[in-house]
Amino acid sequence: MPKNNKITGDMKVEEIVAMYPRSLSIFVKYDVGVAGCRCAPFSSLKEGASIKGIDLDAILKDLNELAARIDAKKLKTNEYKYTR
């Protein structure tokens, strides 16, 4: 994950799904293939959006909103454990 904890267009689709499995619903919404296409999971989000003619800013907004909700819930439920 980048330093600012945001999903970016340069991240691989596979990487995003590994961090946030619920992001699959957003990829389905935007018809960005993550299953059935051998190269799609390994492409950057920017490449996938370009191939499909999808507004990169729109999908990034949705993905980052989802990530923020998930991260906030993890913090609230103390799923993150801090160690020294």
CA distance 67 to 51: 24
User: pLDDT tens-digit profile of 15-63?
Assistant: 898 999 999 999 889 887 665 555 565 678 998 888 889 999 999 999 9
User: Which residue is it, tokens 């920017």?
Assistant: 46
For 7, 21, 67, 76, the CA distances from 24, given in Å and listed in that order, are 14, 6, 12, 23
Judge whether residue 76 has pLDDT over 80: no
Q: What is the structure's pLDDT at 3?
A: 45
Using CB atoms within 10 Å of the CB of residue 36, give its burial: 0 to 12 exposed, 13 to 18 middle, 19+ buried.
exposed
CATH of domain 13-76: 1.10.3910.10
Q: What is the structure's pLDDT at 38?
A: 54
